[in-house]
Amino acid sequence: GEDVEQSLFLSVREGDSSVINCTYTDSSSTYLYWYKQEPGAGLQLLTYIFSNMDMKQDQRLTVLLNKKDKHLSLRIADTQTGDSAIYFCAESVQGGSYIPTFGRGTSLIVHP
Amino acid sequence: DVKVTQSSRYLVKRTGEKVFLECVQDMDHENMFWYRQDPGLGLRLIYFSYDVKMKEKGDIPEGYSVSREKKERFSLILESASTNQTSMYLCASSWDRGLGGANVLTFGAGSRLTVL
């Protein structure tokens, strides 16, 4: 079955880049997602990538996928205090269970 | 703007009480989900439903039940609340029918339940 791992905390200075990492275990055709949860709110989808892609960019966000190592990263350029949130990595398998499996979430703290 | 609405943001209940958490979506989505979120444990799936009157157990169904009488509404029921059910409960919905596309979930704002 799927298993998604991510570190629990990341602290960065405002203006720096943040890189949040995630590893997944399933080797099938897979969708990989990044969600953001601001304090007191539900999760919002930031972006997703299919496992036949290496990279996806959307404004300040860059997703990189290393299929060989089953490693996914989310890079936030020019990190702002408003980016402080919990970031969840998730995976769903094409042709298998379509229910996403979530990681435990990485709390990003941005210092002024 | 598409929405998943959870009727209660904060609830305080006593041990042994029956608790209903309501969730409504206005997107005509097929799938609905209930998760609980605890610090350090992330999101754990309690139950999900892929159609009206259909339900499937998730990873932690014990102590919970669900009801989906209408497509837009998915209720989570705690028959006899216990202190270890104090948590944040998140409802979500999605359109995907398992046909091979991405399964993007839309989440509600959450219901924080405290059981005393």
Q: Does B45 touch chain A (CB under 8 A)?
A: yes
DSSP state of A15: T
pLDDT, residue A15, reads: 97
Strand bridging mode A9-13 / A106-111: parallel
Phi first, then psi: what are they for B95, rounded to 5°? -95, -30
Q: Does B4 have pLDDT greater than 80?
A: yes
Tell me how far apart the alpha carbons of residues B60 and A112 are, in angstroms, rounded to a whole number: 40
Of A40, A94, A103, the CB nearest to B42: A103
Please, which pLDDT band fits residue B14 given cuts at 50, 70 and 90?
Answer: very high
Q: Does B96 touch chain A (CB under 8 A)?
A: yes
Which amino acid belongs to residue A77?
A
Contact B42 A94 (CB under 8 A): no
pLDDT tens figures, A40-96:
889 999 999 988 888 999 999 999 999 889 999 999 999 999 999 999 999 988 766
pLDDT, residue B16, reads: 97
Q: Which residues of B6-28 are buried (b: 16+ CB within 10 A; e: fewer)?
A: beeeebebeeeeebebebbbeee
